[in-house]
Amino acid sequence: MKEINVGIIGLGTVGTGVFKILGKFPQIKTLKIAVKNINKKRNIEGLDESILTDNPFEIVNNPDIDVVVEVMGGVEPTFELLKTAINNGKHIVTANKELLAKHGRELFESAKEKNVVILYEAAVAGGIPIIMPVKTILGANKVEQLAGIVNGTTNYILTKMTEDGISYEQALKEATELGYAETDPTGDVEGFDAVYKLAILSAISFNKRVDYKKIYREGITKIRKEDILTAKELGYRIKLIALAREIAQGLDLRVHPMFVKADKLLANINGVTNSILLKGFPVGEVVFTGAGAGEMPTASSVVGDILDLATELKYSSYPLPLMRCKHEESAVQVDINETYNEYYISLTASNNPGAIGVIGTICGRNNINLSVVMQKGTNDDNTAEIVVITETSKEQDVQNALRELIKSDCIKEINSLIRVMN
């Protein structure tokens, strides 16, 4: 392994883990660490505070630094920092999924021009190795589909709702108190975090550039206790799924809650654990499961990338060619309205004869067959919750049916629509 000098941008949870692990590898020397507040007291064993700086440009412009490790997060000024580092001929190791989803194309093209490598194993699933396996060991495969739980915060919330029968609000409060959810959890609970990760993973899996803005996104904030209970009653669990599959029209990419059969592996991934199921030819199905976040799991992936670079740089001036971006075309991304799914739909209807018939008639008129119809008791205001599960139907037809249903006299409210995983 070649002796190399690194500069770390960010000394938060992950940055601290990276620094601790690098201390076990004398060939890797940390020359500088950029922090937000240089006067903050840090109880980190082995930290020489003289290497701290509050100016990250000291790192990206330092001619003695070989590898810039970015674990600060965010888009600005991170994008400018990494672009500068690349222009200065430095290799990049990053855990920043948002930056790569939004500006990956420009960064990777700059890296190609400057003959440097961007490694980002930690950006998709924390400590789970997925980027390098897909680009190397699984390189002989044509990927047909991937589906995953890639956000630990939302998985923890849905697990608590399922196991303890509590509301979304209660589960979010508990996740926040335990440090699993940010003070502003929007990025997680509304699905943005999962979209960024899916954009990166689908791009390397299908060898095409992906526009994250065209990925359909729906979070978990509207999931009710009643939906969780009905799912359990029908033999399902609700999970936030990042889904990518190749269909005739192009790539079907989306992030949204799904009913997952209780006997399937993804239904039994609980707490903050992440899991990604990949289906391809000739390998069939492979599953990657483990800690998707946290100090040491994420730092493990970051340091793994650094060590790969250190090994390669000892022997080659063109390190890790298999890990370089080779995309030459953009994916055709399919609109959600053109996809076909099964659906769970919950409606509040008048508790009068013929209500279920109206639902069946309107669904039939929109080319939707129903496989399950249930009435969930009655309410004091003479309404009842009616639950249906459809056979495979076109999204546009289902949305048309919902618009027609809400206009009918007997339907008072559409409570939920959740797609069912095949």
CATH 3.40.50.720 fits 4-123+294-323, yes or no: yes
Q: Tell me what the mean pLDDT of segment 127-132 comes to.
A: 94
The total of other beta-carbon atoms located within 10 Å of residue 178's CB is 10
Domain residue ranges of the chain, discontinuous segments joined by +: 4-123+294-323, 131-291, 340-420
Catalytic residues: 197
Does the pLDDT at position 92 exceed 80?
yes
Residue 84 has pLDDT above 90, yes or no: yes
Task: Decide: 125 and 194 in contact? Cβ < 8 Å.
Answer: no
Which residues of 26-168 form beta strands (DSSP E)?
28-34, 52-53, 67-70, 91-94, 118-119, 142-149
Q: β-strands 142-149, 91-94: how paired?
A: unpaired
**What was the pLDDT predicted at 189?**
97
Partners of 252 in beta bridges = 245
| Residue among 280, 258, 281, 254 at smallest CA distance from 269 | 258
Is the pLDDT reported for residue 1 higher than 80?
no
Q: Which residues pair with 251 in a beta bridge?
A: 246, 333
Contact indicator for 124, 197 with CB cutoff of 8 Å: yes
Query: What pLDDT shows up at residue 188?
Result: 97
The predicted pLDDT at position 128 comes to: 95
Average pLDDT over residues 66-90: 97
| Runs of H (alpha helix) within 337-392 | 355-365
Distance CA(283)–CA(281), nearest Å, equals 5
Q: Do the Cβ atoms of 19 and 8 come closer than 8 Å?
A: yes
Q: Read off the pLDDT band of 2 (50, 70, 90).
A: confident
* All residues at 6 or more sequence positions from 256 whose CB lies less than 8 Å from its CB, including other chains: 191, 216, 217, 218, 240, 241, 418, 419
Distance in angstroms (rounded) separating the CA atoms of residues 159 and 273: 11
Q: 37 falls in which pLDDT band (50, 70, 90)?
A: very high
Residue keyed to tokens 């390998």 = 283
Nearest to 277 by CA among 117, 421, 153, 103: 421
What's the pTM value of the predicted model, to 2 decimals? 0.95
CATH code given to domain 340-420 = 3.30.70.260
pLDDT category of residue 293 using cuts at 50, 70 and 90? confident
Summarised one tens digit per residue, pLDDT across range 295-340 is 999 999 999 999 999 999 999 989 999 999 988 899 999 999 999 9
DSSP three-state, residue 401 = helix
Give 43's pLDDT tier (boundaries 50, 70, 90).
Answer: confident
Max mean pLDDT among 327-331, 376-380, 391-395 falls in: 391-395
CB crowding 401-419: b at 16 or more within 10 Å, else e? bbebbeeeebbbeebbbbb
pLDDT, average across residues 125-138 = 94
Question: What superfamily does domain 131-291 belong to in CATH?
Answer: Dihydrodipicolinate Reductase; domain 2 (3.30.360.10)
First to last CA, the chain: 47
